[in-house]
C-alpha cells in the first residue's frame, strides 16, 4: 500500500497547510490509538521548541484522551530522548512533534513503538487506513487522563551519561555546544557539565521562531567562529530535534557524519569491539567506503533515511551506522539516532587517545561531492525516465573507478536529488549539473 501521509520520517509539512492542520493532527491521534493500541494504554508526547508545537500538542492530547488513552506530556526534549523515555515509562508508543532541521514554519509528527524504535511501514499503513474513519470519542468513564512529566527529563540525561565508562570526565575540556534553539537546549549543556566540561553554550535561547535559524547542525558557521574564538577543544552542534550531530574541530573545521562514523568505527575496530558491518547510505561518501576497506572493516549501504540504516543493522547484526547528515546510530547504546550519545562517544575517544578531533580524522580523505536538488511540479521516480537513465549511465561510465552517481526522489518534498562524487571536484560539479539539466528537462 502506498503511503499518502507518512514520508521517510513521519508526517511533515508546512503548518496550516494539509496535512499539518489541527483537525488532521487530532484525526491522526485517534487513528494511531486505534491502530497501535486498540486496547488502550499510555502514550508519551514530546516536542521541540516551535511555536506551533503547543497547538499540535493540544490536538494530539485531545485525540488520544478521546480515544481512551492516558497521556504523558514531557514538553521539549530531543527526539531520541522521547524514544528512551517511551521505553522508560513502559508506554504503548511515543509521539514527537518536530520538523527536525527544518525552519519553524514547518512541523511534523513522528512515532516510536514501545521499544523506542521507529514504526514499521506496516504500522504506518495501519494508521493511514484508520485515518479514513472519523475520530472516536468514548463515554466519559472511558476517557483517558493526562499527566505532565516534565521533571523526569533528568532520566534521559542520566541515560546519556550511562553510555560512558563509570566516572568518566573530560577534565575541564572547553566545549562549545550549539543546540539550534531546539529541543536539546536544556539537556545538552547539562549533560556536558555533568561530565566536567567547561561549556560555552550558543543556540540555547529558543523563542518559538528561531529554531535552526543561523545555528545548529545545518548552519554551523557561528559554531566554527566561536570554537576558534574562545579556543575551545571542540564544538558540538545538534539540529532542532537533537537527533543529528555535527562537530567542529579546534581548527574551526566541520566534521560531518561520515567523518564521525569513521572516528567511532576505527576506534572500535582497533579495540576489537566493533560488531557486525558498519552501515551507511547511498549518500555516504565513497572516500569513507575506501577507508573502511583499507582497514578491513565491512561496510554496507542502505537506502537514504536513518530508519533504513537501522533496518539493515538489525538484519546484519551490526550496531554502528549513520548518515552524512549526522544521524548516527549506536545500537548497543540507543534504539535510534542520538546526537548527544554519539557526541559522548567521540569525546570518550578523544580523551582516551589523547588526540584532538582534527588528528582523529586526518587519515580520512573524502571525495569532492556535488549535490543538486531539482525541484519538480510532482515527485516521480527518475529511474522510470529513459532519458534520465541514459544520462546517468553515460556519466557512470566516464567515472568508472573514480567516482559514483546517486539519483533519487526526495522522500519528503517534490525534489529529485542528484549527487556526483569524483576525485576531481570540477569533474564532479560538471557531471552533476549535466545530469540535473536532463532531470529538469524530463520533468517539464
Query: d(Cα 306, Cα 106) in Å, to the nearest integer?
Result: 20
Instruction: Report the catalytic residues.
Output: 100
What local confidence, expressed as pLDDT, does residue 412 receive? 67
pLDDT given for residue 238 in this prediction: 98
CA distances from 291 to 91, 285, 287, 296, 297 (A): 42, 10, 6, 9, 9
- Compute CA distances 415 → 37, 65, 108, 373, 419, whole Å: 35, 37, 18, 6, 13
The answer to whether the CB of 435 falls within 8 A of the CB of 392 is yes
CATH class of the structural domain 11-150? alpha beta
SS3 per residue for the chain? CCCCCCECCEEEEECCCCCCCHHHHHHHHHHHHHHHCCCCCEEEEEECCCCHHHHHHHHHHHHHHHCCCEEEEEEECCHHHHHHHHHHHCCCEEEEECCCCCCCCEEEEEEEECCCCECCHHHHHHHHHHCCCCCCCCCHHHCCCEEECHHHHHHHHHHHHHCCCCCCCCCCCEEEEECCCCCCCCHHHHHHHHCCCEEEEECCCCCCCCCCCCCCCCCCHHHHHHHHHCCCCEEEEECCCCCCEEEECCCCCEECHHHHHHHHHHHHHHHCCCCCCEEEECCCCHHHHHHHHHHCCCEEEECCCHHHHHHHHHHHCCCEEECCCCCEEECCCCCCCCHHHHHHHHHHHHHHHCCCHHHHCCCCCCCCEEEEEEECCCCCCHHHCHHHHHHHHHHHHHCCCCEEEEEEECCCCCEEEEEEEECCHHHHHHHHHHHHHHHHHHHC
Q: What is the pLDDT of residue 379?
A: 83
Which pLDDT score, from 0 to 100, does residue 1 have?
52
CB 98 within 8 A of CB 110: yes
pLDDT tens digits along 344-378: 999 999 999 999 999 999 999 999 999 999 999 88
In order of 266, 301, 343, the CA distances from 349 in angstroms are 10, 25, 10
Q: Which residue has the cell 514554519?
A: 105
Q: May I ask the CATH architecture of the domain 369-443?
A: 2-Layer Sandwich (3.30)
Fold type of domain 171-253: Alpha-D-Glucose-1,6-Bisphosphate; Chain A, domain 3 (3.40.120)
User: In the chain, where are the structural domains located?
Assistant: 11-150, 171-253, 256-360, 369-443
Q: How confident is the model at residue 351, as a pLDDT? A: 96
Grid-cell match 572500535, residue found: 268
pLDDT score recorded for residue 298: 98
Contacts of 183 (CB under 8 A, 6+ apart): 46, 47, 48, 49, 76, 77, 78, 79, 81, 98, 240, 241, 242
pLDDT the model gives residue 2: 63
Backbone phi and psi for residue 399, each to the nearest 5 degrees, phi listed first: -95, 5
Task: Give the predicted TM-score (pTM) of the model.
Answer: 0.92
Common-topology check for domains 171-253 and 369-443: no
> pLDDT per residue over 21-54, tens digit each?
999 999 999 999 999 999 999 999 999 999 999 9
Q: What residues in the chain have per-residue pLDDT under 50?
A: none
CATH number for the domain formed by residue range(s) 256-360: 3.40.120.10
Amino acid at each position: 500500500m502506498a503511503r499518502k501521509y507518512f514520508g521517510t520520517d513521519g508526517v511533515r509539512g508546512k503548518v496550516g497547510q494539509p496535512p499539518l492542520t489541527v483537525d488532521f493532527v487530532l484525526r491522526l491521534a485517534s487513528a494511531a490509538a486505534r491502530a497501535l493500541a486498540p486496547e488502550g494504554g499510555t502514550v508519551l508526547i514530546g516536542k521541540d521548541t516551535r511555536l506551533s508545537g503547543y497547538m499540535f500538542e493540544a490536538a494530539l492530547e485531545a485525540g488520544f484522551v478521546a480515544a481512551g488513552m492516558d497521556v504523558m506530556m514531557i514538553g521539549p526534549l530531543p527526539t531520541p530522548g522521547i524514544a528512551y523515555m517511551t521505553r522508560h515509562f513502559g508506554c504503548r508508543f511515543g509521539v514527537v512533534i518536530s520538523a527536525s532541521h527544518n525552519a519553524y514554519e514547518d512541523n511534523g509528527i513522528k512515532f516510536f513503538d514501545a521499544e523506542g524504535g521507529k514504526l514499521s511501514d506496516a504500522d504506518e499503513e495501519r494508521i493511514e487506513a484508520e485515518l479514513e474513519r472519523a475520530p472516536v470519542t468514548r463515554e466519559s468513564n472511558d476517557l483517558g487522563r493526562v499527566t505532565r512529566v516534565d521533571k523526569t527529563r533528568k532520566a534521559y540525561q542520566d541515560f546519556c551519561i550511562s553510555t560512558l565508562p563509570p566516572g568518566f570526565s573530560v577534565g575541564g575540556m572547553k566545549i562549545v555546544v550549539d543546540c539550534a534553539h531546539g529541543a536539546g537546549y536544556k539537556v545538552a549543556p547539562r549533560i556536558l557539565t555533568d561530565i566536567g566540561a567547561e561549556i560555552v553554550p550558543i543556540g540555547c535561547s529558543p523563542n518559538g521562531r528561531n529554531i535552526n535559524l543561523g545555528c545548529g547542525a545545518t548552519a554551523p558557521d557561528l559554531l566554527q567562529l566561536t570554537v576558534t574564538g574562545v579556543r575551545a577543544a571542540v564544538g558540538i552542534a545538534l539540529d532542532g530535534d537533537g537527533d543529528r550531530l555535527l562537530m567542529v574541530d579546534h581548527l574551526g573545521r566541520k566534521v560531518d557524519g561520515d567523518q564521525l562514523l569513521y572516528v567511532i568505527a576505527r576506534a572500535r575496530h582497533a579495540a576489537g569491539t566493533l560488531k557486525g558491518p558498519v552501515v551507511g547510505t547511498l549518500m555516504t561518501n565513497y572516500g569513507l567506503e575506501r577507508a573502511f576497506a583499507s582497514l578491513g572493516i565491512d561496510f554496507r549501504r542502505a537506502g537514504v533515511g536513518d530508519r533504513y540504516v537501522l533496518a539493515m543493522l538489525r538484519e546484519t547484526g551490526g550496531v554502528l551506522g549513520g548518515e552524512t547528515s549526522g544521524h548516527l546510530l549506536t545500537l548497543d547504546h540507543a534504539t535510534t539516532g542520538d546526537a548527544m550519545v554519539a557526541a559522548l562517544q567521540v569525546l570518550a575517544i578523544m580523551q582516551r587517545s589523547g588526540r584532538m578531533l582534527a588528528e582523529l580524522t586526518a587519515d580520512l580523505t573524502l571525495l569532492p561531492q556535488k549535490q543538486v536538488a531539482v525541484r519538480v511540479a510532482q515527485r516521480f521516480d527518475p529511474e522510470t525516465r529513459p532519458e534520465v537513465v541514459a544520462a546517468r549511465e553515460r556519466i557512470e561510465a566516464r567515472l568508472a573507478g573514480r567516482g559514483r552517481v546517486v539519483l533519487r526522489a526526495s522522500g519528503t518534498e517534490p525534489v529529485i536529488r542528484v549527487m556526483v562524487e569524483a576525485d576531481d571536484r570540477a569533474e564532479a560539479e560538471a557531471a552533476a549539473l549535466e545530469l540535473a539539466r536532463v532531470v529538469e528537462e524530463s520533468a517539464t
